Amino acid sequence: MSFAPWIKYLPGPHERRRTAATVIFPHAGASAAYYRPFAAALSAAADTFTVQYPQRAERLHEPAPQTVHDLARGLFEAGPWSSAAPLRLFGHSMGAIVAFEFARIAEQNNVAVQKLWVSAGPVPSHIAGLPELPTGDEELLADLADLGGTDPRLLADQEFAALLTNAARCDYQALNRYSCDATVRIRADIHAVAGRQDHRVDAASLRRWANHTEGRFTLSFFEGGHFYLNEHVDTLASRVLADVC
């Protein structure tokens, strides 16, 4: 079995001893292409995969998953992840939840997860208690503009905005249906990371990720907002590869 063509693979330097492969899980509305610079930085030292969600790019016409768990299950079933294990998972924003669910499924199937990096992501057991994310076109665009990370000129382009809102709506709907019990834990260590000026997450909420691991929990910050990672691509990649907190 080979990986689905929509899983973007960048091989690491195979002349070295193989280390844990990194799997990137994008934020809501994003395509795998958004994370190309980060994936390239990670692949300098290890195999790197970036997953593509339905309803965008080459998966544009695939049906949207009903739940985050369905999304994670589809991503897990899209390739022989045991052949790339151990895995290092990195999810940003909503991608942190998708990566968490992917980790649960991987561990249930005896695929080793070395570490889960949750970047600016809401805590699984607290999502059901949060206000629902918007799904109307205007509200969605306003929410995406508030988050940052997308060039305002692109948001003003009707064709691009239509594609973006459709993808984000599908992701938001799946997240609105999500719930996770406070007792659910993975075996892998969890490291939470975010921007110091992120108005969507804070240190107190990020520390609650500690409740979802049986392993070690660590936390760190970079300067910047919700999309801090765009300003710290190389440094963040180096820390992930070295598992430096």
Q: Where are the domains of the chain?
A: 8-130+181-242
Question: Do the Cβ atoms of 207 and 219 come closer than 8 Å?
Answer: yes
- What is the band of 117 on the pLDDT scale with cuts at 50, 70, 90? very high
Helices marked H in the chain: 36-42, 68-76, 94-108, 137-147, 152-155, 158-176, 203-207, 233-242
Q: How far apart are CA 211 and CA 63, in angstroms?
A: 33
What is the predicted pLDDT for the residue at 60? 96
CB count in 10 Å sphere of residue 179? 12
What are the tens digits of pLDDT across the range 64-107? 999 999 999 999 999 999 999 999 999 999 999 999 999 999 99
Whether the predicted pLDDT of 15 surpasses 70: no
Question: Do the Cβ atoms of 183 and 210 come closer than 8 Å?
Answer: no
Whether the predicted pLDDT of 16 surpasses 60: no
Given the residues 31, 43, 69, 93, the one annotated as active site: 93
Q: Side chain identity at 138, as an amino acid letter?
A: E
Looking at the whole model, is its pTM more than 0.85? Answer: yes
Cis peptide before 26 (omega within 30 of 0): no
What is the predicted pLDDT for the residue at 151? 78
Strand-by-strand arrangement of the 8-10 sheet:
8-10, 48-50, 21-25, 87-92, 113-119, 189-195, 217-222
The CATH superfamily label for domain 8-130+181-242 reads Alpha/Beta hydrolase fold, catalytic domain (3.40.50.1820)
Please confirm, yes or no, whether 93 is among the known catalytic residues.
yes
- What is the band of 243 on the pLDDT scale with cuts at 50, 70, 90? confident
Structure tokens at 159: 């064709």
Given the residues 27, 92, 191, 226, the one annotated as active site: 226
Please confirm, yes or no, whether 83 is among the known catalytic residues.
no
* Average pLDDT, integer, range 151-167: 86
Question: Do the Cβ atoms of 100 and 71 come closer than 8 Å?
Answer: no
